[in-house]
Amino acid sequence: MKARIPGAPQGGQQNMMKKIQEMQENMEKVQQEVEASEFTSSVGGGAVEITVNGSHEVTSVIIKPEIVDPDDIEMLQDLIISATNESIRKANEAMEKGMEQAKGGLSIPGLF
């Protein structure tokens, strides 16, 4: 028994399955590309710079020595958190944008 896609023309089911398979391959490719990419954010006028990869792993932390004030560690912590969150946001946006492009406008309720 063959699976049927509701609303798909009878002869078009095979074509639809092919499009779905191509879309899945494109989505996998995009995911790999984004995960291999790096996303950098700088805060505090460049005082703190954080880089994350597409898997949300921090790969680099740069802190300008002149902003390190032992009496105000909280400010440095806030800058690190802010830069990290911004870099992760960039990685998420890149993944979402790539997935939308990979889907090519195809939408199947219950799947994507």
Kindly report the CATH number assigned to the domain that includes residue 49. 3.30.1310.10
Radius of gyration, alpha carbons of the chain: 21
pTM of the entire structure? 0.71
In a domain, 4, yes or no: no
Q: 3-class secondary structure for 25-42?
A: HHHHHHHHHHHHCEEEEE
Is residue 24 assigned to a domain? Answer: yes
Per-residue pLDDT band for 12 (boundaries 50, 70, 90) equals confident
Domain count, the chain: 1
Q: Is residue 69 part of a domain?
A: yes
**Domain with 43 in it:** 11-103
* Longest distance between any two alpha carbons in the chain, whole Å: 72
State the pLDDT at residue 100.
Answer: 86
pLDDT tens, residue by residue, 61-110: 999 999 999 999 999 999 999 999 999 999 999 999 988 888 876 665 66
Q: Is residue 30 part of a domain?
A: yes
> What phi and psi values does residue 27 have, to the nearest 5 degrees?
-65, -40
β partners of residue 49: 42, 62
Residue 75 lies in a domain: yes
